[in-house]
Amino acid sequence: MEHIVFLTGRLAEASLVRVLSGIDAAPFSWEVREIGLQVAGLMTAEMIQRRVPAPVQADRIIVPGRCRGDMEALSRHYGTPVERGPEELKDLPHYFNRVARPIDLNEYETAIFAEIVDAPQLTVAQIMERAGVLVADGADVIDLGCLPETRFDHLAESVQALKAAGYTVSVDSMVPDELLRGGRAGADYLLSLTLDTLWIGEEVAATPVLIPRGPADEASLFEAVERMQLRGRPFLADSILEPIPFGLTASIVRYQRLRERFPDAPIMMGVGNLTELTEADTSGINALLFGIAAELNVAAVLTTQVSAHARRAVREADWARRIMHAAARHRTLPKGINDALMTVHAKRPFPDTPQEIEEVAVQVRDGNFRVQVSALGLHVYNRDGLRIGQGAFELWPRLGLENDASQAFYMGVELAHAEIAWRLGKRYVQDQPLDWGCAVATEARDLNNWSQPGSTMKTGRARAVAGTATPPAPGHLDE
């Protein structure tokens, strides 16, 4: 059986032992070593090498998740693999479960068509700029949306510019002339052809997307598919996804019938009628729709990001297709694979109980403020005691920072973050930005190097004299 040594600090030692003891049927034996510091969030690779003598009798050494320094150098020093664990010690059971079954999210099967819905009103340069953003977010095909009764004189020029830049392009119109111009300019796909306009597919090389004459006219779509199959021509078939409450359920059933009728036909599903026309967070809508797409083996999804609330639809679609493809391929629920689509809430928002926080708070002997969040509310403590409240304004008068502007600013920011996290049910970690999943891009932290001190964080001699710099709150693996 594998033997693992966990390194930690004094404040987190008891909690770490309690969590490890609670892992049922752990496939490893373990021991916890407190390396002689109070807050393990201050642990570094150099400190470990000084304080933990070699050799370490273990198959693996796990250090705090935010421990800075070169883990490969430590591994060479001890002759034993050294790795960072999760940032929160309560996540250790989940961490070991993930390590046991890693799932690759680089694979997916559903292509994303990202529509520029107002292309006729944009210049070629503006279209190119918009296309660059969409592709960076995960789009595979740039769809030029044509507008009713709006001239698109630069359609051919736009298609050619996009193709010259290496993009895959589709033209989206119900006007035959626009589809022909787009196809002759080199578009890869044409949206959308009905049974009555299949002739356009004979005039150009572009792959047509077939739709019914009307959403409920399945017979016309089936006939169009059969004709394309007889000709041996590539195509995509779209049953048209209807918005709520104008036939969503019936349209999903039509997609199912389309798949049953043509088991191997490539299907497209347009999701904008749901993401754009439903005032709800689009990350959840995309998760559900791409789950349906994975079950139906949908080849392509057409999405838009017009409404302000849908402005991250392409990025969410990219994550959703990867997660749902992984779930379908591995025949597992889409849980524990990746939390990028958990943009508003967290699965385990409050890892520490009020009692556990209180146990740590009574051990603190310095003036630095620690901030933690439980289901009860916000907990702020230092050597002067523990304050509990449910909002920043409630706690502020009890901190005594009226004459310390920099620390007052710092604590104001942290309490605001903590309150948002508590009200939404998100994970809060002191001195770290809130995690908004794929909704907000975050810079990757380089834990091999030291971070620069923030403008409100006192460092060096000033820290020792003033005693106002705030270390991470206890209760984490790295503390």
Task: Decide: residue 219, CB within 10 A, 0-12 exposed, 13-18 middle, 19+ buried.
Answer: exposed
**Cβ(103)–Cβ(326) under 8 Å?**
yes
One digit per residue, the tens of pLDDT, for the chain of length 479 reads: 899 999 999 888 888 898 898 887 888 999 999 999 887 778 899 999 999 999 999 999 999 988 989 999 999 999 999 999 988 877 888 788 755 456 789 999 999 999 999 999 999 999 999 999 999 999 999 999 999 999 999 999 999 999 999 999 999 999 999 999 999 999 999 999 999 999 999 999 999 999 999 999 999 999 999 999 999 999 999 999 999 999 999 999 999 999 999 999 999 999 999 999 999 999 999 999 999 999 999 999 999 999 999 999 999 999 999 999 999 998 888 988 889 999 999 988 998 999 999 999 999 999 999 999 999 999 999 999 999 999 999 999 999 999 999 999 999 999 999 999 999 999 999 999 999 999 987 776 666 665 544 444 443 333 333 334 455 555 444 44
Query: What's the rounded Cα separation, in Å, for the pair 430 and 418?
Result: 8
**Cβ(217)–Cβ(195) under 8 Å?**
no
Which residue, 251, 203, 193, 252, is CA-closest to 223? 193
Global confidence as pTM: 0.79
Spell out where 331-474 has E strands: 370-374, 377-382, 385-389
Q: In what order do the strands lie in the sheet with 111-116?
A: 236-237, 207-210, 189-193, 168-172, 141-145, 111-116, 300-303, 268-270
Find tokens 């009860």 and name the residue. Answer: 376
Spell out where 185-242 has E strands: 189-193, 207-210, 236-237
Spell out where 107-188 has E strands: 111-116, 141-145, 168-172
Query: What's the rounded Cα separation, in Å, for the pair 198 and 203?
Result: 10
